[in-house]
Amino acid sequence: MEAPKLSVFTSTLFLSTIFVVSYAAKSGGACAFVYAVRALPRARWLDKDLLRQHVTVFIVNTYLLLPSVTRLQFAALDCVTIAGGSFLREDTSVDCTSAGYRTFTVANGLFLATNLTIPLLWLVFLWRRKNRLNPPAFASDPSEGRRVRRNDPGLAPFRFLFNVYTPRAYW
């Protein structure tokens, strides 16, 4: 017996939902854990370390997984004209003018909007730390600026986003 073929709708929505729900669960769980740790006496140092670790894991995971999920979402919007009709390039059995496809594009658009805000979050992270990423006191000596950046524990979760750049060109 042949296994049933997943439609483009099903696979795209399933992977998009898994991506968003897993990050919501991870973020919620991390926040709950950090708040629970805050209640412990003399655990403020642990609080900051845990937050840095969770931010690092979130950023690295999104950096690795986001492109493939987003590519799949955009591919599910790519329609071509064949014999006077509009069909999905990935699966030509899907009619792009059908009501089901229009409903799918709304849901897919919401997932795309959610996923595309993640690079904006990276930008906000970097922008809020711009003076620490490009220390003004070391503008003339980039190697000293890199050393100061490397030793700043508050920048550790974001290091892979800017590490290869000189301090004046972190973006």
pLDDT given at position 1 = 45
Do residues 15 and 70 touch, judged by C-beta distance below 8 A? no
Cβ count near 101 (within 10 Å): 20
Has residue 108 got a pLDDT over 80?
yes
> Rounded CA gap, 128 and 107, in Å?
32
pLDDT given at position 72 = 87
How does residue 86 score in pLDDT terms, banded at 50, 70 and 90? very high
pTM value surpassing 0.75:
no
Residue listed under structure tokens 């970097």: 126
